Structure 1
Amino acid sequence: MTIDLTDTTTEAIDRALTEARRRLGGMTVGMVLTLILVTDEEGQYDAIRAANQAAREHPMRVLAVITRKPKADSRLDAEIRVGESSPGETVVLRMYGPLGQHADSVVAPLLVPDVPVVTWWPENAPAVPAAHPLGALAQRRVTDSAAAEDPEQVLAALARAYRPGDTDFGWTRATPWRSLLAATLDQEHPTLETGEVQAEQDNPTADLITAWLGLRLEIPVRRTVSAGPGITGVAFATSAGDIRVSRTDGRTATLSWPGRPDRMVALHRRETAELLAEELRRLDPDDVYAETLARLKPAGADLVEAGP
Structure 2
Amino acid sequence: MKIDLTDTTASKINKSLVEGRRAIGTPAVGMVLTMVIVTDEENAYDSIKAAEEASHEHPSRTLVVIRRVSRSPRDRTNSRLDAEVRVGADSGTGETVVLRLYGEVGDHADSVVLPLLLPDAPVVVWWPVDAPEFPAKDPLGALAQRRITDMYAVEQPLRALEARVASYTPGDTDLAWTRLTPWRSILAAALDQARAKVISAAVESEAENPSAELLARWLGARLGVPVERVVTAGPVVTAVQLGAENGALRIDRPEGPLATLSLPGQPPRTLALKVRSTSELIAEELRRLDADEMYAVALRADGEEGTSRA
TM-score range, shorter chain: over 0.9
Note the C-alpha offset of 1:190: 3.0
Name the amino acid aligned to 2:89: E
Comparing 181-190 with 128-137, greater Cα deviation is found at 181-190
Q: Secondary structure at the match of 2:255?
A: coil
Secondary structure in 2 aligned to 1:187? helix
Distance in 1, matches of 2:255 and 2:27, equals 45
TM-score for the superposition, normalised by structure 2:
0.95
Give SS of 1:115's match.
Answer: coil
Verify: 1:284 aligned to 2:307, yes or no.
Answer: no
Question: CA 1:162/1:272 → structure 2, altered by over 3 Å: closer, same or farther?
Answer: same
1:95 corresponding residue in structure 2: 101
The answer to whether the 8 A contact 2:226-2:306 is kept is no
Task: State the Cα distance separating 1:29 from its structure 2 match.
Answer: 4.8
CA contact (8 A) 2:259 2:272 kept: yes
Q: Distance in 2 between matches of 1:56 and 1:92?
A: 19
Q: Residue by residue, what CA displacement relative to the aligned partner does 1:89-145 show, whole Å, maximum 9, x if unpaired? A: 000000001110100000000001110000000011110000001100100000001
Cα offset for 1:84? 1.8
**Alignment partners' CA distance in 2, 1:174 and 1:296:** 18
Tell me how far 1:166 sits from its aligned partner: 0.3
CA distance in 1, matches of 2:129, 2:192: 36
Does 1:140 find its partner at 2:131?
A: no
Q: Which residue of 1 aligns with 2:81?
A: 76
Amino acid at match of 1:91: V
1:112 to 93, 118, 136: 118
Q: 1:28, CA displacement in angstroms?
A: 4.9
User: Counterpart of 2:8?
Assistant: 8
Does the CA contact (< 8 Å) of 2:240 and 2:252 recur in 1? yes
Q: Distance in 2 between matches of 1:265 and 1:241?
A: 20
Normalising by structure 1, report the TM-score.
0.96
Contact 1:225/1:303 (<8 A) preserved = no
Query: SS of 1:237's equivalent?
Result: strand
* Cα pair 1:230 1:250 within 8 Å, conserved: no
Quote how far apart the aligned CAs of 1:23 are.
1.3
d(CA) in 2 for partners of 1:75, 1:69? 12
8 Å Cα contact 1:173/1:275 also seen in 2: yes
- Secondary structure of 1:51's partner? helix
How many residue pairs get aligned? The number is 304
- Report Cα offsets for 1:184-227 as digits up to 9, x if no partner: 00124332110000011121111111011111111121222111
Aligned equivalents of 2:197 and 2:11: distance in 1? 64
Amino acid at match of 1:12: K
Letter of the aligned partner of 2:232 in structure 1? S
Preserved contact between residue 227 and residue 306 of structure 2 (Cα < 8 Å): no
Contact 1:76 1:95 in 2 (8 A): yes
Structure 1 segment 135-174 matched on structure 2, within 5 A: 135-174=141-180
Q: Distance in 1 between matches of 2:107 and 2:100?
A: 12
3-state SS of the aligned residue for 2:281? helix
Unaligned runs of 5+ in 2: none
- Aligned-residue CA RMSD (Å): 1.3
Matched, 1:23 2:23: yes
Q: Return the offset for 1:296.
A: 4.7
Q: Unpaired segments of 5 or more residues in structure 1?
A: none
